[in-house]
Structure 1
């Protein structure tokens, strides 16, 4: 029997038979490889899903948007807003007033935001109402409230359209009539809409006379003018203002998520060390158990290369099956993680403290390929020494073994 007669498919058949004969051992080794694949896929799916969600929310504000925030304690005035509006390339400048307030019965503070109702869609990126409508732009105590203010974590409705809502501003208690409830936004917009109360800017000015604006949302006339407008605003206000463009935020988010993905992949890859050591151990045991069988094959004419390929194919099969099982497990775990995080935050009492980033995990084909490549490489490397040792066995010595 020569290598020419013993085709690769026959060697693969022998490898498969040997794996099946030690089924439990093979399954455990495959699962060890699958754990690494699962970790990479599930972790990268969270980061990729969060990245896409953030970029989609930022995209709703528009690539022509510029966020100008106060740096320090001196707020923007109406004169400052007028100066921004007069700059070349500025299509619109929306001033925003904001303050943290409390609502009786809620543990965490919420944002009270003063903004014109006609500017609210630009501020949110898009207007999505759960019920009701917007308030008129008049100095009246009316409000549009975020979804998490109107509906608690258990799904119980606290406030509906037309109902009053009491807001604690320092020592003062203010009463507003709810004109509308927003749909769920998650961590979108400049301030988290789900935990914000929006009121007419005219009424806000009456409440806090002399207090200026903390944020100005600027729209450029053209996307190509964004950088020029940003530079001009920076020159006008100097160190008084922080200027952030949606383009810059998008680039920063992409860069950070790429780095996080790389780090998570590197950490998850360490789990393959255990899988590699396990595969090495299994293959060494397999060679020792089959010394006589190897001796018979070599006595019948099989060359060193044929014996080597039998165990290389075993490593390859373990890597492939480990990848397939890991794909399935990783896909399931990836979609379970957001629910687990949400449940843990609720039990820890943090559900209202931070805006929840609503996202769906996205399994990237590139990370599927990376996980598969790593798993197959690790198992092939782990089988290198046992395969070489098996191929170098002398037929006479092997037949005398045991």
Structure 2
């Protein structure tokens, strides 16, 4: 029997049992779609986090205090080390501003204006200018503070406008006024600073407001990527456990490992659903063999060999896998694009409401999930191949059983 004839017979047999075949194909498609959609999310999140990390630059080292404080003495000390290009001291503190009659939680970031580009790269200004390096009560406003998304993106803060800011809690709250000197263009986020929801102030001014002499963190720029490891080791030798020292490379490797393991877990769960689909395929194939026992006897009586019957049923199983795999790839690609929107809506914190309507907004500390799913070709092909392999494996025993039937006994089967 020619293979093309067997393919035609297999297609005809599947089309005669449309509902049963359709449900079996659907189960395979769901397994494939789950693998592709879930892996695309983890790959997309991983790429987004790594891109965010590398906005700091691959030659960046972040130092945060652990058992001691970081002061100007440390800035000078680190600046004098070999392979250090620049040291950027930063202060961060939560604060509340009043915008359009609402309280909005933001982050105040104290940083020298000359260090802004070293930290964020190309700083684009929508309106106004960057503040001077002087202890004056001015602020550079992040994009989403000036153009809040919950108000349709319309501008609510303008250059020259005074801003009333509250820092601290309860009886320790202090109220200050800052003048807006500039509004930043939309930036996105970095690991340690979220520019869009922050107010940037002159470093000396924020230290004066907070009455502080220490910094939250030091961003150290090495002269090159190759010098990062040596400089990191040198800093560890100097400070020991008094500070935490992290390089962008270490952070990206850690993130890649964690997200990769999580992605493997999700893919394994999706793979289980594909295995269940394989069991369903095997069950359907067994029922089909029993229902077609007399037909198998007739085929053997007219000249079908055991091998022909075996190939026929394996073809049916493989066609289920192929069709289910193709549908699953298409569904997985569509699902991969839809899932980020669903996840973002679920992970967006609800806005509290008071008696008069919307109340306190946690904009400065709001968690936002923004990424583009990445669908790897190799994972897609592997999911398709797995679907076909599972279907063929599920059809092996029913096909073997059908091929071993004796024609006389098969024809007598009721």
TM interval, shorter chain, is over 0.9
Q: Which residue matches 1:3?
A: none
Secondary structure in structure 1 of the residue aligned to 2:114: coil
Distance 1:245 1:300, change over 3 A: same
- Partner Cα distance (1:39, 1:120) in 2: 43
- Partner Cα distance (2:371, 2:413) in 1: 60
Distance 1:256 1:172, change over 3 A: same
- Partner Cα distance (2:76, 2:139) in 1: 26
Say which of 187, 205, 208 aligns to 1:206.
208
Q: Which residue matches 1:71?
A: 66
RMSD between aligned residues: 2.0
Distance apart, 1:33 and its partner CA:
0.6
Decide whether the 8 Å contact of 2:104 with 2:362 is kept in 1.
no
How many residue pairs align between the two structures? 396
Is structure 2 residue 97 aligned with structure 1 residue 103? yes
Q: Which residue matches 1:149?
A: 145
Distance apart, 1:274 and its partner CA:
2.6
Distance apart, 1:108 and its partner CA:
6.5
Distance apart, 1:122 and its partner CA:
2.1
Q: Which residue matches 2:340?
A: 338
Decide whether the 8 Å contact of 2:88 with 2:220 is kept in 1.
yes
* Residue segments in structure 2 that go unaligned for 5+ positions in a row: 352-360
Is structure 2 residue 188 aligned with structure 1 residue 193? no
- Partner Cα distance (2:33, 2:103) in 1: 38
Is structure 2 residue 86 aligned with structure 1 residue 92? yes
* Residue segments in structure 1 that go unaligned for 5+ positions in a row: 1-5
Q: Which residue matches 2:371?
A: 359
Distance apart, 1:368 and its partner CA:
0.6
TM-score by length of 1: 0.93
Decide whether the 8 Å contact of 2:97 with 2:106 is kept in 1.
yes
Secondary structure in structure 2 of the residue aligned to 1:119: helix
Say which of 173, 176, 181 aligns to 1:174.
176
Distance 1:282 1:237, change over 3 A: same
Decide whether the 8 Å contact of 1:292 with 1:398 is kept in 2.
yes
- Partner Cα distance (2:379, 2:325) in 1: 12
Say which of 271, 278, 284 aligns to 1:269.
271
Say which of 393, 397, 402 aligns to 2:409.
397
- Partner Cα distance (2:410, 2:253) in 1: 63
Distance apart, 1:236 and its partner CA:
1.8
Q: C-alpha offsets along residues 91-111 of structure 1, whole Å, 9 cap, x if unaligned?
A: 110111111212236667422
Say which of 76, 82, 86 aligns to 2:76.
82
Distance 1:339 1:131, change over 3 A: farther
Q: C-alpha offsets along residues 217-246 of structure 1, whole Å, 9 cap, x if unaligned?
A: 111112211111111112222222111111
Distance apart, 1:347 and its partner CA:
6.6
